[in-house]
Amino acid sequence: MQVVSKDTAAEVWTALRSMHVGANRMKVVKVQTLRWQLENLCMGEEESVDDFSSKITLLVGEMQALGEKVEEKYVIKKLLRAVSDKFINIVTTIEFFGSMNTMTKEEIIGSLKAYEEKLKLRRARTNEQLLLARGQGLS
């Protein structure tokens, strides 16, 4: 529709080339924006591993849809750098004892989720013990 008003093939070609160059520039800008968002993404203290990993996966997917190559090693390192402090023990274990060069993003996320479940179980037990102690103190 934008080239219908052009009179010559040269004018149509110039218009199409300008639109294409503009589209490429927009793509480059969008990729830069997504990369910046990925670099600055940090996990909130109350955020779940599922929610955080979904954010990373979404950003990476958008970048790849725009033709940007994103290596899995980069995503793994970003994931381990950006998780909240409550995961420092499992991150350290993965970095020292897990083979980050052979582990997949899914394996890393699985390890983080398993650790998250253990933390939830421990908190639940602690809360139960506190409630029991308070109940015994009232009698």
Instruction: Report the pLDDT value the prediction gives residue 49, as an integer from 0 to 100.
Output: 95
Cβ within 8 Å of residue 37, ≥6 positions away: 59
Instruction: Report the pLDDT value the prediction gives residue 71, as an integer from 0 to 100.
Output: 94
Instruction: Report the pLDDT value the prediction gives residue 12, as an integer from 0 to 100.
Output: 76
Tell me the average confidence (pLDDT) per consecutive run of 10 residues in the chain, 139 residues long.
73 73 78 95 95 96 93 93 94 84 90 93 77 66
Q: DSSP assignment, residue 83? A: S
N- to C-terminal Cα separation, the chain: 82
Q: Which of 92, 120, 14 is nearest to 5 (CA)?
A: 14
Instruction: Report the pLDDT value the prediction gives residue 45, as an integer from 0 to 100.
Output: 92
DSSP secondary structure string, 53-108?
A: HHHHHHHHHHHHHTT----HHHHHHHHHHHS-GGGHHHHHHHHHHS-TTT--HHHH
